[in-house]
Amino acid sequence: RQSMKDCNEFVAAFEKVIKKPKRQESKIYYTGIDLGTACVVLAVLDENRKPVAGAYRYADVVRDGMVVDYIGAVELVRELKEELEQTLKTELVYAAASLPPGTDELDGGAIKNVVQSAGFELTNLLDEPTAANQLLNITDGAVVDIGGGTTGISIVENGHVVKVADEATGGTHLSLVIAGAYKFPFEAAETYKRNGKNHEELLPTLKPVIEKISSIIIQQTQGYNVEGIYLVGGTACLKNIETIIEKATGIPTYKPTNPMFVTPLGIAISC
């Protein structure tokens, strides 16, 4: 599919500029801020909406989509902003941010305040799977964003989002299962899980949680004619997670080469 190929190329370009930022002149920069449960990502696009720089850090400032450490979140976003500004030798002014679907009434204000207190002008606030679809460009199907704390689902029909949902199961739960099974502290379990070399060995242990995620997808897509599931979010990096989800849901399941940065880039595109 062309849109998946475009998405993969866009993410690959972003991965390159995370390592080696592009220092070129641009009249305006757009920053996407993904304030996640496990990871905070900033993605910067230039005036042509092409990736020029990016930075991310694992942090514990948000839980299940809620800002639990407000000061820590502001400091972290400000730190990443300053780091990117020094690299690009410019001031980053405009930013968009996202939040898990359905949490806007509860926490939209907090996310907005974090972004503004860090020195940005907030231009857009949208839900995570809808942001991801700015890059995927799915006209029919379900975008499933499996992050750290939650799984967000956005159902798209004829190019329109017809339903969004979010439930509290994600990568953190997988790490907790690894911590229990391997008698690792949580942080060690996280690191072990993120290493692709361990994925094959881990998959049987993680299967029950992935099946739980699949049952959430089945429940939330009931009553809709979903012909394809498109996985994004850091947890979708787990090798063969798509095979288990496809088998459990009976719906063809696809994922980009690197699902981790699709949402932050989609947020930046919507800035």
The residues binding ligand ATP (CB under 6 A) are 34, 36-39, 62, 65, 100, 128, 147-150, 170-172, 190, 193-194, 196, 233-235, 237-238, 260
Q: Give the count of beta carbons closer than 10 Å to the beta carbon of residue 52.
A: 24
What is the rounded CA–CA span in Å between residue 95 and residue 268? 7
H/E run at residue 201: helix 199-221
- Where does residue 230 fall: left (phi above 0), alpha (psi -120 to 50 degrees), or beta otherwise? beta
Q: Is the dihedral of CA 120, 123, 129, 133 positive or negative?
A: negative
- Choose between 141 and 233: whose C-beta lies nearer to ligand ATP: 233
User: By the 8 A CB rule, do 39 and 76 touch?
Assistant: no
What is the rounded CA–CA span in Å between residue 154 and residue 137? 12
Q: How far is the CB of 97 from ligand ATP (least distance, A)?
A: 11
- Choose between 11 and 46: whose C-beta lies nearer to ligand ATP: 11
User: By the 8 A CB rule, do 167 and 145 touch?
Assistant: no
Q: How far is the CB of 264 from ligand ATP (least distance, A)?
A: 8
β-bridge partners, 56: 41
Q: How far is the CB of 170 from ligand ATP (least distance, A)?
A: 5
In this structure, which amino acid lies at residue 6?
D
Instruction: Give the orientation angle of helix 104-117 with respect to helix 70-88, to 10 degrees.
Output: 50
- Choose between 87 and 150: whose C-beta lies nearer to ligand ATP: 150
- Choose between 7 and 39: whose C-beta lies nearer to ligand ATP: 39
Q: Give the count of beta carbons closer than 10 Å to the beta carbon of residue 139.
A: 12
- Choose between 46 and 190: whose C-beta lies nearer to ligand ATP: 190
- Choose between 36 and 256: whose C-beta lies nearer to ligand ATP: 36
- Choose between 46 and 193: whose C-beta lies nearer to ligand ATP: 193
β-bridge partners, 181: none
Q: How far is the CB of 133 from ligand ATP (least distance, A)?
A: 15
Q: How far is the CB of 50 from ligand ATP (least distance, A)?
A: 22
Q: How far is the CB of 236 from ligand ATP (least distance, A)?
A: 8
What is the rounded CA–CA span in Å between residue 55 and residue 65? 20
* 164-50-53-11 Cα dihedral, nearest 10 degrees: 50
Q: How far is the CB of 253 from ligand ATP (least distance, A)?
A: 16
